[in-house]
Structure 1
Amino acid sequence: MPDFARLDDFLESTDTDGYLIDADSTDSDQYYLSGFDAPDPFVTLYDGETHLLFPRSLEFGRAKRESRATTVERYVDFDHAELVEEHGSEAAVSHVLARFLESYGVDSVAVPPRFPLRTADGLRARGVDVTPDTDGTITEIRATKTDEEIEHVRAAQKANEASMQAAEDLLSAARVADDGTLQYDGEVLTSERVKEEIEVTLLRHGCSLDETIVACGADAADPHDRGSGPLTAGEPIILDIFPRDKTTKYHADMTRTFCKGEPSDTVREWYDLTERAKTAAFDALEPGATGADVHDAVCDVYEAAGLPTLRSDDRAETGFIHSTGHGVGLDIHELPRLSPSGDELEPGHVVTIEPGLYDPDIGGIRIEDIAVVTEDGYENFTEYEQRLVV
């Protein structure tokens, strides 16, 4: 059960009666606050306890069984049909919500930064005070993981490593054709074929993903290029896998860079530098340090080697051109930030460390582990070996 003491403090400091979310459970704040997974939008009210309101009866029984809410109600419980007759279908919704809030003595609500404007306007028209929570208090609360959440990430990372092994096995078993492309089972080995192997392996381990990165050569020089087409010997291949556990909804994240055959001297040099940058970042990772401190440690390594970073040149298009890492949990990118704007790190923060170097003439190198900040440092969840040549 999450600790909502910080949300209680927020409501008290803003003199609001409750916190309201109107979204489906793909909104991670909704899922976290409600403790319920539903594909259609519903309303969650937190006033020290959690109350759910559904437009229809479809999810009503399951919500009573599965959610951690104190109460579960439907529009019909607030005379929705009569309100439709009196006010029309659109206005009736705001009347239902107002009655729902009134039943808990709630006259004012805070809402997350992204909140339906129609819902806010409708409640204001019914006399409810609606205040935007521009800081995203629940998102901030989610950044500090419970022991249970940490285990969820750890389990997702185990599946992630199995999928990385399956991908590396494909690359290892491939042969180099005369034209320099990789071949496997008599066919050209493509980015798409490796992604398929990754996805199938993750499904077998209870995880899934919408996209993954298998990018070779110049494609790998763009940090978010998903990669496509034939894979080539002698060029770095970035594999960045970020699955989500289908049961717990928690993510993991890991990147490795491989080269089939002999890499260039520059690729080897960049790989060694990136290993050193990752080590420097972990050396800086501890409670009380800031995300900016960790990011600076990476920039120090690259800049000392004469390579550009966004810290040394905010217009740089090659070199180290992204932040050092990010939080991971219900979202693949969430707080805290390991970047120039990164705030103080706390025990329970789950973060990636992912330095990298990029240049279309050379390719890309990135190595990424995932770890949790602890009371006395950190614990790295990642057990997967680092190697360049396969």
Structure 2
Amino acid sequence: MQPDLSPLDSALGDDTDGYLLDADGTDSTQRYLSGFDAPDPFVTCYTPDGVHLLVSGLEYGRATKEARADTVTRLSAYDYRDRIGELGRATGRGAVVADFLADHGVDRVAVPGRFPLGTADGLRESGVAVRVDESDAVAELRAVKTAEEIEHVRRAQRANERAMAAAESLIESASVVEGVLHRDGDPLTSEAVRREIELTLVREGCALDETIVACGADAADPHNRGSGPLRADEPIVVDIFPRDTETRYHADMTRTFVKGEPTETLREWFDLTDEARTAALDAVEPGVTGEAVHDAACDVYEDAGLPTLRSDPDAETGFIHSTGHGVGLDVHELPRVAPDGPELEPGNVITIEPGLYDPDVGGVRIEDLVVVTEDGYENLTEYPVELVL
């Protein structure tokens, strides 16, 4: 993938020569600008004339082959070890990076908000002007995906759906003993379902940091991972957001299941949430704001007399989160599908995930993953929406 980085030129403006990163390859902005992945921090500087990397000798050979960079330089070219021994690790690193920047005609840089303070102080002591990029220009750039990036997300989503199918099968095949789901004579737990999800994703070439399998009152907290035995007749929220280990792009999907007979309220909530999902999807098109899409979901709930954060910013039950977010190298990135959501553009990959929550009822959430197209959207999610197993 070769993204067009030229929009960064306008973000630099007349008072900045380059955009600087000092982070390892797990930092999504670093990976996006450099096209390189390393376990230890390395330096990337974008200028209108090219992308320049400063790496350790250990990573030099691989960086010259794999990085999307016009130049790659070793730290040893600037006597790195001697200088951190003389000046200290932070100040010495800053001095080395300052010399590296000078070689590329850069003495004024923009940096992201989480740029290392030690490196920034060292650069300033060496006479380099450092300003924080309040606009988060690279995040804005990353929000619009190329066709190749969309295919990366699509591949992760197909793996995600196979993992969801494994979870659903495990829940559906469980027996019920005194209101608790059992499998092979033992209670079926949130932890056991998560293990099945994780094993499936590993076989599919994906990894994940965590997964939500939350039952009953646990499901009333949108980010409760869930624990312990799963129970019949109660909602089980399964939210999976894996990362493809090769491309590093994410997917995201949520389904809510009931093994047994849901209450009348729970069934009503599920139908309303599916209606809110459909209303939000129908609103998605280029030029429409993320706020307008969020409003479409809120309208459904409020028309049914249920609270939302739009109607009551202090609400603790009802629809208590935004409708969605961008997905890419990070599972949560721009654009926001929320009260402050900007205009959507073709190439935005976003979730649509309305939900309702109350400890007395449980939780319901349904989440699809879509890409904004020139004339509407494409739903990357093929998984069915069904409550009762």
- Smaller-chain TM-score bracket: over 0.9
Q: Which residue number corresponds to residue 129 of structure 2?
A: 129
Deviations 1:60-111 (A, max 9, x none): 1111111111111112112335545664555332221111011011111111
Within a 5 Å distance, the mapping from 1:225-264 to structure 2 comes to 225-264=224-263
Contact 1:50-1:71 at 8 Å conserved across structures: yes
Q: Which residue number corresponds to residue 197 of structure 1?
A: 196
Deviations 1:264-284 (A, max 9, x none): 000100000001000000011
Change (3 A) 1:234 1:109: same
Contact 2:90-2:122 at 8 Å conserved across structures: no
TM-score (norm 2): 0.98
Whole-Å separation in 2 of the counterparts to 1:354 and 1:81 = 50
Q: Which residue number corresponds to residue 332 of structure 1?
A: 331
Within a 5 Å distance, the mapping from 1:349-364 to structure 2 comes to 349-364=348-363
With 93-102 and 242-251 compared, the bigger mean Cα shift is at 93-102
Q: Which residue number corresponds to residue 183 of structure 2?
A: 184
Whole-Å separation in 1 of the counterparts to 2:142 and 2:84 = 38
Change (3 A) 1:234 1:10: same
Change (3 A) 1:115 1:88: closer
Report the secondary structure of 2:196's partner residue. Answer: helix
Within a 5 Å distance, the mapping from 1:265-344 to structure 2 comes to 265-344=264-343
Q: Percent identity?
A: 66
Change (3 A) 1:342 1:89: closer
Q: Which residue number corresponds to residue 154 of structure 1?
A: 154
Would you say 1:66 and 2:66 are equivalent positions?
yes
With 344-353 and 13-22 compared, the bigger mean Cα shift is at 13-22
Whole-Å separation in 1 of the counterparts to 2:330 and 2:238 = 20
Whole-Å separation in 2 of the counterparts to 1:83 and 1:214 = 51
Contact 2:25-2:36 at 8 Å conserved across structures: yes
Report the secondary structure of 2:30's partner residue. Answer: helix
Report the secondary structure of 1:53's partner residue. Answer: strand
Q: Which residue number corresponds to residue 19 of structure 1?
A: 19
TM-score (norm 1): 0.97
Deviations 1:340-373 (A, max 9, x none): 0101100000000000000000000000000000
Whole-Å separation in 2 of the counterparts to 1:189 and 1:86 = 59
Report the secondary structure of 1:357's partner residue. Answer: strand
Contact 2:91-2:118 at 8 Å conserved across structures: no
Change (3 A) 1:89 1:274: closer
Change (3 A) 1:380 1:88: closer
Question: Runs ≥4 in structure 1, deviation > 3 angstroms?
Answer: 81-91
Whole-Å separation in 1 of the counterparts to 2:91 and 2:273 = 57
Number of aligned residue pairs: 387
Whole-Å separation in 2 of the counterparts to 1:305 and 1:81 = 66
Within a 5 Å distance, the mapping from 1:49-198 to structure 2 comes to 49-54=50-55, 56-84=56-84, 87=87, 90-177=90-177, 179-198=178-197
**Letter of the structure 1 residue corresponding to residue 3 of structure 2:** P
Change (3 A) 1:57 1:183: same
Whole-Å separation in 2 of the counterparts to 1:316 and 1:199 = 34
Would you say 1:6 and 2:7 are equivalent positions?
yes
Whole-Å separation in 2 of the counterparts to 1:93 and 1:248 = 30
Compute the displacement of 1:25 (Å): 1.3
Contact 1:258-1:388 at 8 Å conserved across structures: yes
Would you say 1:369 and 2:356 are equivalent positions?
no
**Letter of the structure 1 residue corresponding to residue 311 of structure 2:** S
Whole-Å separation in 1 of the counterparts to 2:88 and 2:270 = 64
Change (3 A) 1:8 1:308: same
Contact 1:113-1:135 at 8 Å conserved across structures: no
Gaps of 5+ in 1: none
**Letter of the structure 2 residue corresponding to residue 141 of structure 1:** L
